[in-house]
Amino acid sequence: MNAEHADQAQGSGPASLPADDGPRPWALLLAAGRGSRMAAATGGTSKQFLLWKDAPLYWHSARTFSRSGVVAGIIFVFPPDALARCEDEVRALDARYPLGLPWKAVSGGAERDDSVRNGLAALPKAVTHILIHDAARPFMSARLVHAVRAGLADGAVAVIPALPVTDTIKMVEDGQVQSTLPRHRLVAVQTPQGFARSELEAAHAARAAGCAAGQEQQPVTDDAMLMEAAGHTVRVVAGEKTNCKITTVEDMALLSPSPSLQPRTGMGYDVHRYAQDAGEPKARPMKLGGIAIDKAPAVLAHSDGDVLLHALCDALLGCAGLGDIGEHFPDADARFDNISSAVLLDQVLTRVRRAGIRPCHADMTIVAQKPRLAAFKDAIRHNVARLLQLPPEAVNVKATTEERLGFTGREEGIKAYAVVSALYDPPAAADAGECHHAS
């Protein structure tokens, strides 16, 4: 599949954010493991297929990659004997929770590095960078995806997220301590890990050649090991305490519903004036819910002027008691000049989720005499659902006029209302440095 024809891959669609000057990597999602250590507790179900919030664990990572806005496509790597079933499952999930990205499903191999090589072979030829993620880490954030990708954009050929080790670590052999390792030099490594494709493929090829020559090879637990062996510098960025991996039976408690969920409601409102001339300073082409509206008046705004996403941001902030969009992204700040409102929404989502808020429904109304929006409502609904990581049935979009009354009736501007329903899970455990996730 060539990059020029990437839109022919399964699930093709628009990315959530426009490309910038950095690389747009594809994500390689490893979901081919057998999970034998947990088989008794899961009834034989591999951990990446355990259901959480009505979807398998691997799908939560796929949705986070989609919401990040910097990933161009996804390769799913599944067990060979389950590939057809898993591909059908991804197709059904993508219909309900649209990724808005091209994707492809391929078979894994006998070992982790075999699965990675199979995934690399399925990438479009023009792809230059790759993010590799373990499907058993469903809690990663879009912020972490951005941090790893930023390291690649800065010229690194290998970037890994890691956390400082807080326990004392000792080397043990035959039940006896051999040495104590210097804790200040140790980190615990996570995924996603980012790589320049050509260098990573060369490192994998070198390992495969060594295996073919009968050379003894150390087991590979992450791809950074191969880059280290090839002599490349591996850059480290800050990981996340909440980016836990489901590895043991005890870890399954992270998937259990929290008993402390409380309902929250937030209301948002925003308005933008129409430009008299499309060339007027701060005149922006109309977008609603991240969707470009053809043949519509330009709006005056400091950001891109998406009145619907601005109202949605305020509703989300209201659920968390975090003020309003103007406090977080003031229009006097040059950093937000013509910024995508999808970027602002992503930052708002990060803040409200850190505050323990989980959005579960959004109801929005657009008020404008022109343009007519009936033809756009379905696209807006699905795109907002994708940005919020909600199924389309949890998002409602309405459009109305005011019968030529008021400033909207005089075709002087556009306004929007949003009401968000959410659940609040007090983040006490997360504050204590533990993994804690509302179901």
CA angle 2, 69, 193 (to 5 degrees): 75
Residues 179 and 321 in one domain: no
Residue 181 and residue 148 share a domain = yes
Picking from 255, 287, 307, the residue at the C-terminal end of a domain is 255
Residues comprising the chain, all counted: 439
Residues 45 and 94 in one domain: yes
Backbone CA torsion sign across 218, 224, 230, 232: negative
Q: What's residue 215's pLDDT?
A: 79
Shared domain check, 238 and 343: no
In a domain, 421, yes or no: yes
> According to the model, what pLDDT value does residue 16 have?
34
> What pLDDT does 220 receive?
81
Same-domain status, 326 and 278: yes
Which two tokens mark 297?
């008046």
**Residues 309, 315, 320, 322: is their CA dihedral positive or negative?**
positive
DSSP state of 39: H
Which spans in 128-272 are helix H? 142-153, 197-212, 223-229
Predicted confidence at residue 105, as pLDDT, reads 96
Task: Residue 219: give its domain's CATH number.
Answer: 3.90.550.10
Question: Is 248 in the same domain as 294?
Answer: no
pLDDT at 40: 47
Q: Is residue 60 part of a domain?
A: yes
Pairwise CA distance, residues 239 & 167, whole Å: 17
**CA angle centred on 424, ends 422 and 427, rounded to 5°:** 145
Give the pLDDT confidence score for residue 178 in this predicted structure.
93
Query: What pLDDT, on the 0 to 100 scale, is given for residue 257?
Result: 63
pTM over 0.75: no
The residue range of the domain holding 34 is 3-255
Question: Which of 255, 283, 309 marks a domain boundary?
Answer: 255
Total of domains in the chain: 2
Question: Per the domain annotation, does 439 fall within a domain?
Answer: no
Q: The CATH number of the domain where 390 resides is what?
A: 3.30.1330.50
Indicate if 297 and 402 belong to the same structural domain: yes
Q: Do 246 and 123 fall into the same domain?
A: yes
Query: Residue 113's pLDDT is what?
Result: 87
Per run of 10 residues, the mean pLDDT along the chain (length 439 residues) is: 37 38 88 64 65 87 92 96 94 91 94 92 95 94 94 95 93 92 92 96 89 78 92 95 82 66 93 86 91 92 92 96 92 86 93 92 95 94 93 94 91 95 71 39
